[in-house]
Amino acid sequence: MLKKVILLFIVGLIIYGCATVPVTGRRQLSLVSNSEILPLSFDQYAQVLKENKISDNKEWTAMVKNAGKRIQVAAERFMRESGVANQLDGYAWDFNLIESETVNAWCMPGGKVAFYTGIMPICKTEEGVAVVMGHEVAHAIANHGRERMSQGLVTNLGLSTVGAAMGSNPTLTQQIFMQSVGVGSQLGMLKFSRTHESEADKIGLIFMAMAGYNPREAPEFWKRMEAKAGGQRPPEFLSTHPSPDTRIQDLNAQMPEALKYYRK
């Protein structure tokens, strides 16, 4: 009897604790709410800005801020038109370029974006920046960080809320958060799964097209990334499935859909 009750409770929690990813409609585990994860995100972002040098390259900075603003507007419009604008409640968008040779970029929950100068020569143009921006913002909009944090809490601390996890083990909770959102921590960084990467590519392609950037630039960017990165495996890019070839094929397959959003 007790076993049955516990099982029912767990099943109920999993059904209750589910959300739907915009665009793809995939159901995902969501035991963490935005109101719980956004304060962690904003704190962490402020910390990153404090500990790193912001680039003084005016041209690159303008590219990141312009592409960021346009992708933000596109994402907001998309969510509005899909009737789920409330999923962006509490967002406080920010786009910064950090001085570092690391080939990386990320968007934390709540729209906190960082690009590293190391990725800029591969982006080359604002359109190239928009490829990466669309992809990273898509990870945030699809709540991949929240989903991974939910999984991380279940795995490491048992079924738990952020509040309870913070109460029992704040350090571990903080580290699970950092791994989950793709920033990295002393524990290293979790790779985004193939599902998450494909989803971010697909959603990102639509966002960049809606923002007025030619989505045909996306496969071109990934070709440059593959050529440039070579043996060096950057944290967010190429470190994960799908392989660049599969990724380019998938992007090309999604191109007709994305081009419907591309108005020029």
**How does 131-170 read in b/e, with b if 16+ C-beta sit within 10 Å?**
bbbbbbbbbbbbbbbbbbbbbbbbeebeebebeebbeeee
d(CA 232, CA 195): 23
140 lies in the site for Zn ion, by CB under 5 A: no
Cβ proximity to Zn ion: between 79 and 131 the closer is: 131
Residue 59: active-site member: no
Catalytic pick among 36, 126, 127, 136: 136
Region from 13-21, 47-55, 78-86, 193-201 binding Zn ion, contact rule CB under 5 A: 193-201
Q: Write the burial class of residue 222 (CB in 10 Å: 0-12 exposed, 13-18 middle, 19+ buried).
A: buried
CB of 88 to Zn ion, least distance (A): 20
Cβ proximity to Zn ion: between 52 and 193 the closer is: 193
- Chain length of the chain: 264
Binding mask 142-181 for Zn ion (x = CB under 5 A): ----------------------------------------
Cβ proximity to Zn ion: between 13 and 229 the closer is: 229
Cβ proximity to Zn ion: between 138 and 162 the closer is: 138
CB of 1 to Zn ion, least distance (A): 45
Cβ proximity to Zn ion: between 165 and 248 the closer is: 248
CB of 170 to Zn ion, least distance (A): 28
> How is 54-106 classified by DSSP, letter by letter?
BP--HHHHHHHHHHHHHHHHHHHHHHHHTT-GGGGTT---EEEEE--S---EE
Q: Write the burial class of residue 124 (CB in 10 Å: 0-12 exposed, 13-18 middle, 19+ buried).
A: middle
- Are 99 and 52 a contacting pair, CB within 8 Å? yes
Size of the site for Zn ion (CB under 5 A): 2
Binding mask 194-233 for Zn ion (x = CB under 5 A): ------x---------------------------------
For the annotated catalytic residues, the residue numbers are 136
Q: Which residues bind Zn ion (CB under 5 A)?
A: 192, 200
